[in-house]
Chains A and B, each alone.
Chain A
Amino acid sequence: MRSDVISFRLDSRSVVPPYLQIVQQVRQALRMGVLDVGDQLPTVREVVAATAINPNTVLKAYRDLEREGLVEPRAGHGTFVLRRPPGPPPGTHSRLARSLAQWVRGAREAGLDDDSIESLLRVTLQAAAEQEIA
């Protein structure tokens, strides 16, 4: 049986590593309802035959999704959707967007341009990630 529910689009020029592109596309498909509980993800062979990426890249992506509890491998059958990703409660995005907009206004008034704001955000995200690891 072919599992032709979704296909992956991999952009070699993206700064996002290929395995993460797959993870993100599966998550997105789950959020959008393109993929549903019980659906089968494309097999590793199908993905590499269609995209010419390394098989281990696909395995790594599927293992990440498995660790998140979103999918489960069934021996000899493939990888299946177990549940949808836990999204933040409704309203969270707009609440955060409002406080971020306020912060951006403050940054502009302090004289930062878009590039400086972006690089500050990147550095802060990176520092936060490093703190989580440590």
Chain B
Amino acid sequence: MTARQDAAPPVIETRGLAKRYRRVTALTDCTITVPEGRISALIGANGAGKTTLLRMLAGLARPSDGDVTVLGGTPRQDPAFLAGIGFLAQEIPLYRRLSAGDHIAVGAHLNPRWDAASVRERLSSLNIPLDQAVGTLSGGQRAQVALSLTLAKRPRLLLLDEPVAALDPLARRQFLATLAEAVAAGGLTVVLSSHLVADIERVCDHLILLAAGRVQLCGDIDTVLADHQVLVGPRKDTTAIQKAHTLVQATHTARQSTLLIRVGGPVIDPAWEAADVGFEELVLAYLSQPGPGPGAPPAIAHLTTVGEDQ
């Protein structure tokens, strides 16, 4: 595998994307960029629009508004577009009575670039039987079968909707290792929605955070973390801080204030002790923001620019 090629066009680019179902707005003003080779975490509370976004990226749902480009084209139900996309929905799409071997054979008929050998090799290295009905396998084994089948398509973009939520810790680790290894082999970009922050922090290097009805963060995790700080100091008014920085979260006790800010410049006031922000801390701060209202801060558009070479 080679170094990142950030000069390459992004694999996903959306601008002002929105989806409304009759009277319900599922997603609004969604502008994101995902460069090639990233494993991007899609984070948001339930109902934040994660599944809607993934379905629009996969061409399974049509946007109500805005632009979306995936792998240089518009997502649609068209064999040429779908050949580049792997999509694994929450409910693992397998025929319970068929064996993994049957699924491999079926896939070979449906997909032009089918890599049957890699699935067999991967499943046997995990001691998953190829000749047993997948309905009799464990949840972790079924997830591995589904992932391996999806990877056999040799997709350039893999979209995973909470793939590990139901798995035990070992199965989760194995699933994510398979995923990371596929990305290490090159040419694959992943977006995966999940609530499991520890897993995400380990395996992902890019983040899309949906909260309060819109995209709050989108960028390389290292860059996003470096753009935020926690300030701790004696309790005081935050007006001065808010002039130079974006206040994400403020907690006050009678005597002390703790502020999580997106840094807009150096913190000059010596009353504040500044510290780096942890990933989980940052995610929770954004998720606990109040809902959209007048004067809600715009999505942090500049963070979508590609981080520097690491």
- How far is the CB of B41 from the nearest CB of chain A, in Å? 10
- How far is the CB of B77 from the nearest CB of chain A, in Å? 31
Q: Which of A19-60 contact B (CB under 8 A)?
A: 19, 44-45, 48-60
Q: Which residue of the partner chain A has the closest CB to B178?
A: A49
- In this assembly, does B215 line the interface, its C-beta being within 8 Å of a C-beta of chain A? no
- In this assembly, does A12 line the interface, its C-beta being within 8 Å of a C-beta of chain B? yes
- In this assembly, does B184 line the interface, its C-beta being within 8 Å of a C-beta of chain A? yes
Query: Which chain B residues border A56 with CB–CB below 8 Å?
Result: 4, 37-38, 205, 310
Most chain B C-beta atoms within 10 Å of own C-beta, residue among A18, A51, A54:
A54
Tell me whether A52 and B184 are in contact (CB under 8 A): no
Q: Which residue of the partner chain B has the closest CB to A119?
A: B273
Residue tally, chain A, CB below 8 Å to B: 20
Tell me whether B177 and A49 are in contact (CB under 8 A): yes
- In this assembly, does B110 line the interface, its C-beta being within 8 Å of a C-beta of chain A? no
Tell me whether A48 and B180 are in contact (CB under 8 A): yes
CA distance A85 to B267 in the complex (A): 37
**Which among A48, A54, A60, A63 is the interface contact of B204 at CB below 8 angstroms?**
A54
Query: Which chain A residues border B179 with CB–CB below 8 Å?
Result: 52
- In this assembly, does B39 line the interface, its C-beta being within 8 Å of a C-beta of chain A? yes
Tell me whether A48 and B37 are in contact (CB under 8 A): no
Query: Which chain B residues border A51 with CB–CB below 8 Å?
Result: 177
**Which among A45, A52, A59, A60 is the interface contact of B203 at CB below 8 angstroms?**
A52
- How far is the CB of B188 from the nearest CB of chain A, in Å? 10
CA distance A132 to B109 in the complex (A): 61
- In this assembly, does B23 line the interface, its C-beta being within 8 Å of a C-beta of chain A? no
Query: Which chain B residues border A10 with CB–CB below 8 Å?
Result: 202
CA distance A56 to B221 in the complex (A): 12
Residue tally, chain B, CB below 8 Å to A: 24
- Given A44-B184, A45-B185, A60-B310, A52-B202 contact (CB < 8 Å): yes
Query: Which chain A residues border B185 with CB–CB below 8 Å?
Result: 45
Q: Which of B182-215 contact A (CB under 8 A)?
A: 183-185, 198, 201-205
Tell me whether A55 and B180 are in contact (CB under 8 A): yes
Q: Which of A48-88 contact B (CB under 8 A)?
A: 48-60, 63
- How far is the CB of B5 from the nearest CB of chain A, in Å? 12
Query: Which chain A residues border B202 with CB–CB below 8 Å?
Result: 10, 12, 18, 52-54
Tell me whether B198 and A55 are in contact (CB under 8 A): no
- Given A53-B203, A59-B3, A60-B310, A48-B198 contact (CB < 8 Å): no
- In this assembly, does B176 line the interface, its C-beta being within 8 Å of a C-beta of chain A? yes
- How far is the CB of B185 from the nearest CB of chain A, in Å? 7
Tell me whether A45 and B184 are in contact (CB under 8 A): yes
CA distance A53 to B177 in the complex (A): 7
Query: Which chain B residues border A57 with CB–CB below 8 Å?
Result: 205
Binding site for B on A (CB under 8 A): 10, 12, 18-19, 44-45, 48-60, 63
Taking A12-B202, A48-B180, A59-B1 as given, write out 6 further A-B residue pairs in contact, using a Cβ cutoff of 8 Å, ordered by the A residue number.
A51-B177, A54-B205, A55-B1, A55-B183, A55-B184, A63-B3
Binding site for A on B (CB under 8 A): 1, 3-4, 37-39, 173-174, 176-181, 183-185, 198, 201-205, 310
The 9 A-B pairs with the shortest beta carbon distances in the complex, nearest first, are A55-B184, A48-B180, A52-B177, A52-B176, A49-B181, A54-B205, A45-B184, A60-B310, A56-B205
